Structure 1
Amino acid sequence: MDPEEPADTPSHLPAHLTIYGQLREMILCGDLAPGQAVTIQGLTGMLGGSATPVREAIRRLTSEGALLFQGNRRVSVPVLTLAEVEALTFGRVALEAELARRAALVATPALTQELRAIDAALDRAIGQGDARGYLRLNHRFHMTLYAAADSAILSQAVNGFWLRAAPSLRIMCGRLGTQNLPDMHHETIAALERRDTGAAAAAIARDIRQGMDNIRAVLLEAPDDASRDAAAS
């Protein structure tokens, strides 16, 4: 698969799962900003199909904490508070570092080659100022790595963390610019090639802390009173 192309949605999936996948990608890529309210009708127009599968997808994403019902058939992406950023940082570092450690135990040349291809595409997105491409490819890099660990329980929890954090990462990109987005992907790949479990876990932990610290800094610089209130709660 070309790492610069979006992941394909299987054509045999039921409509509500197809819509769920599309809406989930919109959230992960920051197409819906935190606090931005959209109507079910508006989402139906964007995603195509009927309102019923859109409602089902929204219901699932709401149960996962990725969306909030606002009334009047509107939903929005939650605005993170500082306390939530701290909790997400703790959870992500603990679980994602463990997944990286497990992946390093079984790392193969095919895995590291795939990760290098994704990271090269990610670097091109950064160079082009493509925030959406950066977020999509950054997510793909991490999920490809964690899939090698073969732990459905840990991966399910991590997926939930990403749904909560990703929209704020898009804001971070807008404030800081893609050129100011350091990562530890090269260090992670090098650790995988050595099957150095400790180095792989440490690189991913630092990568996560960098991103979450940037989200925290953006919250603290929120320009309006409502954002400040949210950040302080």
Structure 2
Amino acid sequence: MTADPPLDPPPAAHSEHHHGDVSGGWLRAAVFGAMDGLVTNIALIAGVGGGGIAPQAIVLTGASGLVAGAISMALGEYTSVRTQNEQLDFELAKERVELRRHPEAEAAELAESWIARGLPADLAYEVATRIAANEEEALRVHAQEELGLDPFEKPSPMVAAVSSFVCFSIGALVPLLPYLLGATVLWPALAAGAVGLFVAGALVSRFTTRPWWFNGLRQLAFGALAAGATYLIGWWIGA
């Protein structure tokens, strides 16, 4: 007797589908920091190099730009993410008061939003009423529906600041390396910066649906535009 073929495993038996961390605060800060570090220091070095200053002065300028930019980026990220979290806490406090004062009205508002998206009215009201019985869950659902944020998954200001600081420093160091290794002309720094821009853009494509070459070329074009503008200014003004 031939054995029956094995049945497909139920959905629960399949491997879990994981999404990337889009709310932790590190990815945006890291990408922004690396790109800003590359573009800023490439443009800065191109500008002073176009002015014809000595290599030692270019190193001092690039190093100062790295330190000042990294600190500024870290402080800016920390402040912006912390402010965003504080604003979310303020809105959550208002929503909590409304849930306690007018639970029926808030449940009806939630149900109406689901009905507008196609959920049957009786099911929408039943689910909204059941959720209203749990204050914390009701607060979470209302925050997601009305604010588009999960109050229990807020980004970390410190993670954003550290990510931005480290990635800006790495990006800003790339065009400076040729001079630190003994270069005395501008083109090796620009070449290193171009490679860094393309590689950084290509790496970012891992977190998006864009092709790696498209992201790389796009970031290279942005950096070239900034470097070209500052080089012309430096050449025009002169040392």
Choose between structure 1 and 2: higher strand proportion: 1
Task: Give the TM-score of the pair, scaled to structure 1.
Answer: 0.24
Task: Give the TM-score of the pair, scaled to structure 2.
Answer: 0.24
Choose between structure 1 and 2: higher helix proportion: 2
